[in-house]
Structure 1
Amino acid sequence: MDTFLYQELMKATEEELAILEGNQAVNKKIYTDLTSDFVIQSEKFLKDDLIMIRKHPRYIDFPRHSHDYIEMNYVFHGNFHQKVADKSITLKQGDILLLNQYIEHELAACEENDIVINFIIHPAFFDYILSNLSTGFIQSQMLYFLMNSIFDYSQKGEYLYYPVSNSDRIQDIMQQLLKEMMEESLLSKSKIKFLMGLLILELIEQQNQTNRSTQKSEQNAFLTEVFRYIEEHYQEANLQALAKCFNQTVYWISKQIKSLTNQNFKDLVQEKRLQVAKNLLVYSDLPMQAIAEEVGYENISYFYRLFKKKYGMTPKAYKMQLIKQD
Structure 2
Amino acid sequence: MNKQIIEQLRQLTGEEKEILSGLEIDKSRYSTGQNFIVNSDLLLKKGRLIEIRPHTRFVHFPKHSHNYVEMVYMVLGETHHILNDTDEITLKAGELLFLNQNTTQEIMPAGENDIAVNFILLPEFFDEALNMIPEGDLLRDFLISVLSPDSSFLTYLHFPTSDILPVQNLMENMIYTLLYQESETVINTINRTTMGLLLQTLSVYAGLVNQGTPSQYEQNLLLTVLKYIDDHYKHGTLETIAKQTKQPAYYISRLLKKHTGKNFKEQLLARRLQQAAYLLSHTTLTIEDIYTYIGYDNSSYFYRKFKEAYGLSPRDYRLGQPQS
Give the TM-score range, shorter chain: 0.5 to 0.7
Aligned residues: 235
For 2:156 and 2:68, locate their aligned partners in 1 and report how far apart those are by CA, in whole Å. 13
TM-score (ref. length: structure 1): 0.63
2:100–2:148: 8 Å Cα contact kept in structure 1?
A: no
Q: Equivalent residue for 1:11?
A: 11
Residue equivalent to 2:70 = 71
Output the CA distance in 2 between the equivalents of 1:201 and 1:212. Answer: 20
Alignment partners' CA distance in 2, 1:207 and 1:150: 16
2:120 aligned residue = 120
Q: CA deviation at 1:105?
A: 1.4
Residue 153 (structure 1) shift: 4.1
Tell me by how many angstroms 1:179 deviates: 1.2
Q: Which residue of 2 aligns with 1:41?
A: 39
Is the Cα contact below 8 Å between 1:61 and 1:109 reproduced in 2? yes
- In structure 2, what is the Cα distance between the partners aligned to 1:102 and 1:27? 22
1:203 corresponds in structure 2 to 202
Distance 2:51 2:20 in 1: 25
Q: Aligned to 2:162, which of 158, 162, 165? A: 165
- Are the structure 2 counterparts of residues 60 and 151 from structure 1 closer, same or farther at C-alpha, using a change threshold of 3 Å? closer
Q: In the alignment, what sits opposite 1:305?
A: none
Equivalent-residue separation in structure 2 for 1:223 and 1:31 (angstroms):
41
1:147 to 144, 147, 162: 144
For residues 90-125 of structure 1, give each alpha carbon's deviation from its aligned partner in whole angstroms, at most 9, with x where no partner exists. 011111111111011100011000000001111122
Residue of 169, 172, 175 corresponding to 1:175: 172
127 and 223 in structure 1: CA distance in 2 versus 1, 3 angstrom threshold: farther
* Residues 103, 157 of structure 1: 8 Å contact kept: no
1:292 corresponds in structure 2 to none
C-alpha distance in 1, partners of 2:147/2:167?
Answer: 24
Q: 1:199 to 1:22 in 2, by over 3 A?
A: same
**1:59 matched to 2:58:** yes
Match of 1:274 in 2: none
The answer to whether residue 90 in structure 2 is matched with residue 90 in structure 1 is yes
The amino acid across from 1:109 in the alignment is P
Cα-to-partner distance string for 1:263-292 (whole Å, 9 max, x where unaligned): xxxxxxxxxxxxxxxxxxxxxxxxxxxxxx
Instruction: Say if 1:156 and 1:50 are closer, same or farther in 2 by CA, change over 3 A.
Output: farther
CA distance in 2, matches of 1:191, 1:179: 11
CA contact 1:126–1:146 (8 Å) conserved in 2: no
Give 2:96's aligned amino acid.
I
2:109 alignment partner in structure 1: 109
Aligned partners of 1:102 and 1:156 also within 8 Å: no
Secondary structure in 2 matching 1:144: helix
- Relative to structure 1, is the Cα distance of residues 148 and 12 closer, same or farther in structure 2, using a 3 angstrom cutoff? same
Per-residue CA deviation, residues 184-218 of structure 1 (Å, 9 max, x unaligned), is: 23333432222122112211122269979952565
Between the aligned partners of 1:174 and 1:40, the Cα distance in structure 2 is: 23
- What is the percentage of aligned positions where both structures have the same residue? 29
CA 1:169 to 1:212, structure 2 compared with 1: closer, same or farther past 3 Å? farther
Q: Which SS does the other structure have where 1:34 is aligned?
A: coil
When residues 147 and 89 of structure 1 are mapped into structure 2, their CA distance, relative to the original with a 3 A threshold, is same
Q: 1:4 to 1:150 in 2, by over 3 A?
A: closer
Matched residue type, 2:228: Q
Q: Over the residues paired in the alignment, what is the CA RMSD in angstroms?
A: 3.4
> Which residue of structure 2 lines up, in the alignment, with residue 184 of structure 1?
181
Greater mean alpha carbon deviation, residues 144-153 or residues 111-120? 144-153
Q: In structure 2, what is the Cα distance between the partners aligned to 1:114 and 1:89? A: 15
1:264 matched residue in structure 2: none
Shift of 1:68: 1.2
- Tell me, in whole angstroms, the C-alpha distance in 2 between the residues paired with 1:48 and 1:180: 16
2:182 maps to amino acid: S
SS in 1 for 2:205: helix
C-alpha distance in structure 1 between counterparts of 2:66 and 2:160, whole Å: 23
Correspondence for 1:245: 305
Structure 1 gaps of 5+ residues are 233-243, 254-295, 297-326
Residue number in structure 1 paired with 2:22? 22
**Counterparts of 2:106 and 2:27, CA distance in 1:** 14
For residues 175 and 110 of structure 1, do their structure 2 counterparts lie closer, same or farther at Cα, with a shift above 3 Å needed? same
